[in-house]
A = this chain, B = another copy of it.
């Protein structure tokens, strides 16, 4: 016998400004947490609609959210059931630069190029700009303990860094971007893959052609605007990436 909708305490406040389905979702969430062991059934959608005086579509919207969070599970013809909490590993954060320091190596960099170019079709797509847009290209060979570690190439829209090319190549690109141009990177995304060393990269990194490299493409954003696209090739024999994983845990409280 399915649980009765009357068993759910609390009510919907239509004047609160909070979306009804959000209120119902949270009511259901706490109801589940308090009185529903895994496998138990929720009241049917029609029961809930009647209990709270809502349209069934609205009830479904609340249930949809919890199904999306994998808190509950629908079974056609049977009902909606509480799931066993499920493992869901997710990369949360990579403290990339800290990680470099943590290795305790002596860093150095050799500037390979520092110039203005125009965006190719590929770069235009990566930076979400028009083809031909002026870019600053900054390419370096990064060393650790005197031995090549990676080849790094950054592309920044030129209009965001006026006068950057007039000075010396910066030691720390991100420091200059934030201190001199107010471009504080807020978020970004890394695309990580394995690749084989091309002849030119192999020579720079002092490895054999075809050696495995870790390729990391990064898009860095300020607000919604991308201000940096970079590609790095790391020597696989010298560099490993450490990524902490954690369970999703509590959900955020956005939506108003």
Please report A residues at the B interface, Cβ cutoff 8 Å.
37-39, 57, 68, 84-91, 93-94, 96, 125, 128, 174, 178-179, 184-196, 210-215, 218-220, 223-224, 234, 236, 239-247, 249-256
Contacts and interface: CB of A to CB of B under 8 A. Distances in A.
A21 to B, nearest CB: 13
Contacts of A249: 184, 186
B91 A193 contact: no
- Taken together, the copies of this chain in the complex come to 2
Q: Which of A189, A193, A223 lies at the interface centre, i.e. has the most chain B CB atoms within 10 A of its CB? A: A193
A242 B241 CA distance: 13
B212 A195 contact: yes
Contact of A252 (B94, B174, B187, B196): B187
Given A86-B178, A186-B252, A196-B211, 10 more contacts: A89-B90, A190-B242, A191-B240, A192-B241, A194-B194, A195-B236, A196-B196, A218-B245, A223-B253, A224-B253
Contact of A186 (B174, B179, B241, B251): B251
A220 B247 CA distance: 10
Nearest to A240: B193
Contacts of A84: 178-179, 189, 219
8 contacts: A86-B178, A91-B190, A184-B249, A187-B244, A191-B241, A193-B236, A212-B212, A255-B256
A254 B186 CA distance: 14
A140 to B, nearest CB: 18
Contacts of A179: 84
Nearest to A179: B84
A45 to B, nearest CB: 16
Contacts of A247: 184-188
Contacts of A91: 88-90, 190, 243-244
